[in-house]
Amino acid sequence: MSHDLFKAARNAMAYAHAPYSKFPVGAAIRADDGKIYSGANIENLSFPQGWCAEPTAISLMIMGGGKKIIEMAVIAEKLALCPPCGGCRQKIAEFASKDTKIYLCDEVGVKKTMSMEEMLPFSFATEILG
């Protein structure tokens, strides 16, 4: 099932707006509604005021009616198995469970699978704080 997320993340990466970092990234989410939502990083001249691929995909999920991330794939053009940055890990955790699978990809497919708990141990728990 992760292959369709890989393809969606790779396709999203083609839409990255990364003229400053030259580091295109794509992400794709399978949400609780069964739909796939994807996004790319979008930079801004007021660096680092742009946003990463992961929150772009999360925004599309929320605006599309999805509530929870079931699984997610991330791909970067210049770095195989590129994990979400620290800030994105907390953003993902807001809509994920500890068991949510995060797939790290290279140019041909999923190469590593991690749980959200492995990706961000000791994260803020939304059920406690919010």
Catalytically active residues are: 54
Closest by alpha carbon to 39, among 20, 63, 70, 3? 63
Strands 36-40 and 25-31: antiparallel
Tally of CB atoms within 10 A around 90: 13
| Helix 86-94 × helix 53-64 angle, to 10° | 20
Rounded CA gap, 10 and 13, in Å? Answer: 5
Query: Which residue type is seen at 56?
Result: T
Which alpha helices (DSSP H) does the chain contain, by range? Answer: 2-13, 53-64, 86-94, 116-119, 126-129
